[in-house]
Amino acid sequence: MSSRRDRIRAKIMARVEIDSDTGCWLWTGPTSGSDGRGADYPRMSLDGQTVAVHKAMWTNEHGFIPGKKELDHVCRNRRCVRPDNDRHVQMVTRKRNALRREEAKRTALRCEGVDA
């Protein structure tokens, strides 16, 4: 008999494709939609509730996410659910997450040739 953790991991991994170029574990199932600030985050049903897949995977592998912490997609891909590598999903403070998000936006604008 498999544990609850094993069942959750298997349920998530059944809808994941691994990107061999980036190492991202990309969710292929439903997302939060294409509009708004929270667009394109992976979603799934777990025990009758809709949950964010990257948070479910992190909690399953590492435990509780404290109230003052958030998960940051260091790889900048919201569909990535890889919890075991600091280059993908990482637990950080809300402030650190906001700073990284702003830096990523500035970098993207510089790459597009726009002054940030």
Token pair 């994941």 in the structure block, residue: 16
Instruction: Confirm whether 69 is domain-assigned.
Output: yes
Residue 105 pLDDT = 82
pLDDT score, position 109: 67
* DSSP per-residue string spanning 12-79: HHTTEEE-TTT--EEE-S-BS-SSSTTTT-BEEEETTEEEEHHHHHHHHHH----TTEEEEETTS-TT
Range of the domain at 79: 4-111
66, part of any domain: yes
Provide the domain count of the chain.
1
Question: CATH number of the domain that 18 lies in?
Answer: 3.90.75
- What string of pLDDT tens digits covers the 116 residues of the chain? 789 999 999 999 999 999 999 999 999 999 998 887 778 899 999 999 999 999 999 999 999 999 999 999 999 999 999 998 789 999 999 999 989 988 888 877 667 665 54
What pLDDT was estimated at residue 30? 95
Task: Look at residue 72 and tell me if it is in a domain.
Answer: yes
116 occurs within a structural domain: no
Question: Does residue 14 lie within any of the structural domains?
Answer: yes
Q: Name residue, tokens 């991202």.
A: 24
